[in-house]
Amino acid sequence: MGLFDKLRGELIDIIEWIDDSNHTLVWRFPRYNNEIKNGAQLIVRPGQEAILVHNGEIADVYPPGHYQLSTENMPIMSTLRGWKYGFESPFKAEVYFVSTRQITDLKWGTPNPIMLRDPEFGPIRIRAFGTYALKAVEPKALLREIVGTDGDFQSDEITNLLRAMITSAFSDVLGKLQIAALDLASKYQEIAAEVRAAVVEQIDDEYGLDCPQLVVVNISLPEAVEKALDTRTSMGVIGDMNRFQQYQMGQAMTAAAENPSGGGASEGMGLGMGFAMANQMMGQGGAAAAPAGATPPPPPSAQTWYVAVDGQTRGPFTMQQMSSGAGSGELNPQSMVWTTGMSGWVAASQVPQLASLFGGSPPPPPPVPS
C-alpha cells in the first residue's frame, strides 16, 4: 500500500457502510493495518449490524445507531485489550458489517425429477421451482460458520447450499403429505409452508440465517402424464362417446359425398362407415329393448355377406346392414357380393335374397272399366 493510502487510513475516523448492492450479506471495512483511531465514529444504518473482531475473536456487536468508539461502548473489546483507564492510541480490530435486510427473489428448483408414487397414476416424476428470501438473524453465527475472513460475502456464495436444502426438504414434504398429482396445484401454500419450516430448522441455529418467505411457483408433471390428463379432460367434455362417434361418422360420410374426385376409395369408405353406423345403431336399439335385469339369450346364427369394393373385401355384414346399405345407395345392384355356399362373386341383383332390396318396376296399372 502506498504512502497516500497509509496517510488516508490514519486520518479515517468515520466507519460506515453505504450498501449499494442487493445481494451482499457481509462486508469488511477496509483500512490500513486494521487500525482504528480512538474516538472514531461508527455509523450503523438500519438493516445493518457491525461486528468488531480482535485477533480472530468476535468482540462487540453494534445494532443500528451512531457510536463513538471508546471504552464505555466497547465492553468486550476493553476486556480483551485490558484497558482499565481508557485508551489514547489507535487499536487494531476488524470491522464487519452484516446486512440484516431480506434478500428477495432468490430462485430454487429441482435439478433432477423427483420420483413419487401417485395413487392414481402410479410411479411418476415431477419437477418444481419457485422463489425464496434470505435474511441474516444472528450475525455472530453467520460470521463464524460461513463468512470467516471473506471481506465481501455475497448471497450467491451460499445459494447452492440453500437450494440443495430446499430440494431435499421438498422431496421429504411430498413424501410425507402424500398429495395426489391432480391435487398438487391446490396445495402449493401448504407445501411451501412445510418446506420453509424444514429449511429454517437447519439454517437458523447453525448458520444464523432465516428464510422469511418461500414460494412454490409451479409443480410440473411429465409430458406423457399431461397428455393423458388432457385426453381425460376431453373425454369428460365430450360426454356421450357413442353419440360423438355417430356424429364423426356422419361428418366423414358427408365429406366423402361432397368429394366426387374420391372415386371408388371414397365409395368404399362411405359404405364401410354406413354399415358400421347401422351396426352401432342396431346394437343400441337391441340394448334398449332388453328388459332391465334380464339376460338375453344368445343371438341365432344369421347369414352374413361380404361386399367387394375397389378390389377389397368388406364385411361380414348382416342382412339388416345390407338392407341399410341398399337404402342409402351405398349397395347397388351391380355390387359384387358373396356368402357361404356360393361358388364365386355374383352381382347383388342376381342373388334372390338381395334382389328384393333394390325393388323393381311396378306392372302397368289395370285398365279403367268402361
Question: Is the per-residue pLDDT at 110 higher than 80?
Answer: yes
The CATH code that applies to domain 103-227 is: 3.30.479.30
The arithmetic mean of pLDDT across residues 122-141, rounded, is: 90
When mean pLDDT is compared over 149-163, 194-208, 243-257, the highest value belongs to 194-208
Q: What is the per-residue pLDDT across 161-175, written as a single tens digit (0 to 9) for each?
A: 899 999 999 999 988
**Buried residues in 328-344 as b, exposed as e (16+ CB within 10 A):** eebbeeebebbbeeeee
The residues spanned by each domain of the chain are 3-99, 103-227, 262-280+303-354
Asked if residue 272 lies in contact with residue 306, where contact means CB atoms within 8 angstroms, the answer is no
Strand blocks (E) in the chain: 14-15, 24-28, 35-36, 41-44, 48-54, 57-62, 65-68, 91-92, 94-99, 103-109, 114-118, 122-136, 152-154, 209-210, 214-220, 305-309, 312-317, 336-339, 346-347
Residue 125 C-alpha cell reads as 416424476
Q: What is the per-residue pLDDT across 28-54, written as a single tens digit (0 to 9) for each?
A: 888 766 678 878 899 999 999 999 888
* Confidence class for position 287, pLDDT limits 50, 70, 90: very low
The arithmetic mean of pLDDT across residues 240-255, rounded, is: 67
Question: Is the per-residue pLDDT at 108 higher than 50?
Answer: yes
- Report the pLDDT value the prediction gives residue 364, as an integer from 0 to 100: 65
Question: Is the per-residue pLDDT at 213 higher than 70?
Answer: yes
- Report the pLDDT value the prediction gives residue 94, as an integer from 0 to 100: 87
Q: Is the pTM of this model over 0.85?
A: no
Round to whole Å and give the CA distance between 159 and 341.
83
- Report the pLDDT value the prediction gives residue 211, as an integer from 0 to 100: 93
Task: Report strand pairing: 57-62 vs 48-54.
Answer: antiparallel
Sheet-wide strand order for 14-15: 14-15, 41-44, 65-68
The arithmetic mean of pLDDT across residues 140-146, rounded, is: 87
Position 76, amino acid: I
- We find that the CATH architecture of domain 262-280+303-354 is 2-Layer Sandwich (3.30)
Round to whole Å and give the CA distance between 72 and 23.
34
Round to whole Å and give the CA distance between 218 and 131.
10
DSSP 366: P
- Report the pLDDT value the prediction gives residue 88, as an integer from 0 to 100: 67
- Report the pLDDT value the prediction gives residue 288, as an integer from 0 to 100: 47
